[in-house]
Structure 1
Amino acid sequence: MAHLRPLDPNFPIERQVWRDDAAFMKRQPGFIATQLHRAIGDSPTYLNYAVWESTAHLRAAFTHPEFRSKISAYPSSAVASPHLFEKVAVPGICVA
């Protein structure tokens, strides 16, 4: 059986502030949904994606003073790599 090991053993995901951040984001205008994924196997990687009505809504939430103040609660070992994506239509497979 695989052993799951957090990136920072002293601060596993269960103790981290993602839940609080997600709850904050859910209250923001334009928020649609979010989902947290954990990598399979021994990887300590987590992926969170969120769906917003627009880039402007996302930008407003990320620059909100309450959210900005929460960033300091993350451990120094946490690494975030935010990136914006848009849905792509593939005929016969998926819609945009």
Structure 2
Amino acid sequence: MKMVQLDPATTFQQQLAGSGTGPVVLINRFTVPPGFEAEFLDLWREDAAYMLSHGCLSAQMHKGTEGSTSFVNIALWENAQALARAFASEEFQGLLARYPDTCTISPHLFTRIAVPGVCVGDSVGA
């Protein structure tokens, strides 16, 4: 599986090494070869089960419409450190190795922000 950075200004690896202690939202876009969708979801189900037992609080997969081969996982984590430990574990790296090289992932961490009059957040920001 090939990793493509969602934001070249701040890489996923930089985010995993961060010092924040609060909850983070992982948004991970997957591009899957046509015809591999069912197998992809079976593999991801096993990955999600592992992550849910290692600091992931919840996960939800989304699929692009109209024949899209893009998927997006949105997962809430206790903190970036829990995700970093789970992601770097030998067991999880073994799970990732099962995907074909034609799959791409673009993981990135976010925190919730408040936008007055629209949504609440964990902190106020622009």
Give TM class, smaller chain.
0.7 to 0.9
Larger strand percent? 2
Q: Would you say the 8 A contact 1:7–1:45 is kept in 2?
A: no
Q: How many positions carry a matched residue from both structures?
A: 88
Pick aligned residue for 1:54 from 75, 79, 83: 79
2:57 — aligned with what?
32
Which whole-Å CA distance do the structure 2 matches of 1:92 and 1:62 have between them?
36
Q: Distance in 1 between matches of 2:53 and 2:78?
A: 13
Which of 49, 59, 81 pairs up with 2:106?
A: 81
Q: Which runs of 5+ in 2 are unaligned?
A: 1-31, 122-126
> What does residue 46 of structure 2 align with?
20
- Letter matched to residue 27 of structure 1: S
- SS of residue matched to 2:93: helix
Give CA deviations for 1:22-64 in whole Å, capped at 9, x if unaligned: 0101111x32111100001121111112110111111111011
**Unaligned residue ranges in structure 1 (runs of 5+):** 1-5
Give identity over the alignment, percent.
Answer: 38
Shift of 1:92: 2.4
1:69 aligns with 2:94: yes
Poorly superposed stretches of 4+, deviation over 3 Å = none
